[in-house]
Amino acid sequence: MAEFTVETQFHYAMVRKLYEGGMGIVYEAEQLGAQGFVKRVAIKVIREHYAKQKLFIDNFVGEAKLVADLIHTNIVQTYHLGEARGVFFIAMELIRGVNLEQFQQQLSDKHRALPKDLAVFIASRIARGLAYAHAKTDRDGNPLGIVHRDVSMKNILIAFEGDVKLTDFGIAKAKGFLTDQEGEVVAGKADFMSPEQADFKVTDKRSDLFSAGVVLAHLLLGYNVFKANTPEESRQRIISMPIPDFRTLHPEIDGRLNALLQRLLERELSERYQTGEEVLHDLEVYIYGSGYGPTNETMGKFIRDLFGQNVPQKSTLTKGGTDVLEHTARLAKPA
């Protein structure tokens, strides 16, 4: 098939800083195109301190390549990997909303409780996104073996429309993409790790399901039962603390939901949920089994009311004005 090459230039005008992490910064930006075209996106940039380190560059590029074909309603979509002024960046779907950590903090600040069915609904959407990612194959149909390894409150977003999105595959592992010395180093947030992850063991998709269980328990209780004063103490609690009977910790948690949590947080891998599809099924049976249950619209109404329908704007560009990244790409298209 004949091909021709189109050379195009992407212009991204930075609007404001959204989030600063340990190794990267995320901005809201405008993608500018021909004839006044404007699309709001999120731009993830490596911090300057790490921008010259090959390991971080390789992992950043690996993340972009890994998630490029993860197109799912419960996963933040990646649009473009670029390089400008020697800096790599990823253009992603912009989510108008908050992460679960901000969501939980707002609940606490306003002395509000998250309804049980909405907590289960959020967890079901996480399971849905994980099921898709875990089952992803390459172009030849070979399983990629994706494991997120950082399913936590900060990496789950809720849009003000009610959509739940899993994000940040920065430390995910998958065949042919991101690699590290698993078994020698530990990656992820200590109080959301699986026992095998916390114990420096090799992980598979069941590790993400344990982490999803920690998130669900956190949403139901308003706190993380494994969180301690230090990351090391949290890891030890993940490994050895007796899993509580959650019915004794919250009156809204019944026997069915407690059993579901017990299986998600099972330390014996063979006894834990084996797939995201199984988790999704049981969560949805729980909230929809007797009839009508929560939807994106229900979730959206709750979060808009909680936040007064406004997107928090806590930071802006430090230099003032608008910075612009320009990137020229050559796109090959079939005739």
Q: Nearest to residue 121, comparing CAs of 304, 284, 306, 285?
A: 284
Q: Is 150 a catalytic residue?
A: yes
Contact 188, 171 (CB under 8 A): yes
Taking the C-alpha atoms of residue 64 and residue 262, their distance in angstroms, rounded to an integer, is 34
Taking the C-alpha atoms of residue 170 and residue 260, their distance in angstroms, rounded to an integer, is 29
Taking the C-alpha atoms of residue 98 and residue 96, their distance in angstroms, rounded to an integer, is 7
Q: Look at strands 156-159 and 164-166 and give their pairing.
A: antiparallel
Residue with tokens 């600063």: 20
**Dihedral over alpha carbons 198, 201, 204, 206 (to 10 degrees):** -40
Residue of 150, 168, 191, 208 with catalytic role: 150
Q: Nearest to residue 126, comparing CAs of 83, 72, 90, 64?
A: 72
Query: What would the two tokens of residue 309 be?
Result: 């329908």
Show which residues are catalytic.
150
